[in-house]
């Protein structure tokens, strides 16, 4: 979502680069938000939810099924992603987190979905500042990102192997399991994410764990079990609220 150098922009505009993280994780995040927002009250206006970095809209389409009665707007800077998103969700608009900011008024959003975007950003500080601007006081931020300290990464690093999710090149995989380059620039542990959110003006309500769809099948039961201890989980799901007035 932050405007990257030309080489990064070209990378993310490539249709071969994955733009969705799986329906299971999207559903889990949407259910957390649905519980936070509560039921739509009779006569009350729907909540405005922004899916920042919506990609092809597949995650937003899953979330709409859970967030019945609310207004969900997909936002992305990739024209190719938006073209695909508009086939899945009613509203999808172009926007960036820097260079003028998002096309929404200050305090106009009740909630923001920020699903596995932050690890791709050159300037996450500016991104969180912009998300805080568009959220109303007390508005919800639902953020997900890979966990640098996932249970298997701890073992890999002890063995001298590059951790999963980390990348040293935009052209290929070197020194770690996997074959897909996805453009991760920053990775967080649960403790680092809490600290970063607090420094950015957010109060963390909860950090939960989610499994990773690409874990080898024999290890998936262990990966699901690790979600009970979020600091060990593959994916971090953070629910935070905009602090202050």
What does the DSSP assignment read for 15-45? TTS-----HHHHHHHHHHHHHHH-PPPTTSP
* Sequence-ordered list of residues with C-beta below 8 angstroms from that of 141, at least 6 positions apart, any chain: 111, 112, 114, 131, 135, 197, 202, 238, 239, 240, 241, 242
Task: Provide the pLDDT for residue 10.
Answer: 63
- DSSP classification of residue 163: P
Percent of the chain surpassing pLDDT 90: 74
Tokens of 90: 């009613």
- Please answer whether residues 209 and 202 qualify as being in contact, where contact means their C-beta atoms are separated by less than 8 angstroms: no
Burial class (CB in 10 A: 0-12, 13-18, 19+), 148: buried
Contact 175, 146 (CB under 8 A): no
pLDDT band at 122; cut points 50, 70, 90: very high
- Indicate the range of 33-37, 138-142, 218-222 predicted with least confidence: 33-37
| Position 41 confidence tier, pLDDT thresholds 50, 70, 90 | confident
Task: Give the range among 2-11, 81-90, 195-204, 214-223 with minimum mean pLDDT.
Answer: 2-11
Report how far residue 146's alpha carbon sits from residue 188's, in angstroms, rounded to the nearest whole number: 7
pTM of the full structure: 0.91
**pLDDT of 3 over the 60 cut:** no
- pLDDT of 110 > 60? The answer is yes
Reported as a pLDDT band with limits 50, 70 and 90, residue 100 is confident
pLDDT of 245: 58
Non-local (6+) Cβ contacts of 158 within 8 A are: none
Find where tokens 């262990």 sit: 222
- How confident is the model over 208-225, as a mean pLDDT? 95
pLDDT value at residue 202: 98
As a whole number of angstroms, the distance between CA 218 and CA 221 comes to 7
pLDDT digits (tens, 9 = 90+) for 138-155: 999 999 999 999 999 999
Q: What is the residue whose two structure tokens read 């701890």? A: 154
Tokens found for residue 235: 């994916």
Mean pLDDT confidence for 239-245? 89
What is the C-alpha separation between 237 and 64, in angstroms, rounded?
Answer: 18
State yes or no: pLDDT of 136 exceeds 90.
yes
Share of the chain above pLDDT 70, in %: 91
pLDDT of residue 19: 53
């Amino acid at each position: 979502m932050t405007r990257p150098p030309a080489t990064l922009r070209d990378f993310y505009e490539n249709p071969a680069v994955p733009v969705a993280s799986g329906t299971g994780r999207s559903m889990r995040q949407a259910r957390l938000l649905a519980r936070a927002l509560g039921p739509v009250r009779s006569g009350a206006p729907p909540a405005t939810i922004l899916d920042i970095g919506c990609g092809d809209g597949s995650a937003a389409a899953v979330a709409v099924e859970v967030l019945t009665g609310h207004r969900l707007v997909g936002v992305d800077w990739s024209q190719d992603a938006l073209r695909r998103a508009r086939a899945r969700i009613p509203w999808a608009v172009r926007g960036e987190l820097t260079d003028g900011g998002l096309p929404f008024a200050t305090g106009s959003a009740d909630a923001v979905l920020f699903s596995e975007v932050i690890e791709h950003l050159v300037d996450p500080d500016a991104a969180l500042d912009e998300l805080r601007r568009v959220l109303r006081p007390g508005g919800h931020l639902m953020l997900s990102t890979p966990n640098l300290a996932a249970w298997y990464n701890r073992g890999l690093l002890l063995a001298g192997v590059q951790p999963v999710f980390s990348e040293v090149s935009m052209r290929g995989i070197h020194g770690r399991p996997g074959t897909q380059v996805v453009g991760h620039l920053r990775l967080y542990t649960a403790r680092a994410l809490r600290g970063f959110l607090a420094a950015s003006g957010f109060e963390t309500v909860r950090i939960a764990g989610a499994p990773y769809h690409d874990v080898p099948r024999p290890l998936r039961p262990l990966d699901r079990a690790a979600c009970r201890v979020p600091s060990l989980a593959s994916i971090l799901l953070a629910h935070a609220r905009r602090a202050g007035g």
